[in-house]
Amino acid sequence: MKTTNNNDFIDLDLPPYLGKAEAVRLLDKLYLECITENDLHDVSPDFRTLIDENVRSPEPPSAIKSGFRRGNRRKYGAIRYCRNGKGRILFLQTDLEEWFYYGFAPHLKKVAA
């Protein structure tokens, strides 16, 4: 049985986890909706880079030595993710949406207003 996500049903055909490419597509979609609804300027964020920076280790030995954390978690907040058995990073759609609306969108509204 195929259902759609219209806030009453969940699309059973969607995988529970998204890889980086699917995550980028979802964030691009949310971004376009956000700038359209709020009449913001397009700042063309690179969500692939934002994800890569967000999931990197914030305190590798070089960061500890220099005294500066790595990544962008301090600026945008952390994106929740997990790794499968092969080390692939996976995201839940709800976690990405939460990060976008509570981490990225407030910053976007300041920059693109």
pLDDT digits 0-9 by tens, 9-52:
555 555 689 999 999 999 999 999 999 999 999 999 999 999 99
45-59 residue pLDDT tens: 999 999 999 998 777
**Tokens for 43?**
């700042």
Domain ranges of the chain: 20-111
CA separation for the pair 34, 30 (Å, rounded): 6
**How many other C-beta atoms lie within 10 A of the C-beta of residue 91?**
22
| CA-based nearest residue to 25, from 51, 55, 63 | 51
| CA-based nearest residue to 79, from 55, 60, 59 | 55
Q: How would residue 110 be classed by pLDDT, with cut points 50, 70 and 90?
A: confident
Give 23: exposed, middle or buried? Use CB within 10 Å, 0-12, 13-18, 19+: buried
pTM of the model: 0.79
56-109 residue pLDDT tens: 877 778 777 888 777 788 888 899 999 888 888 999 999 999 999 999 999 998
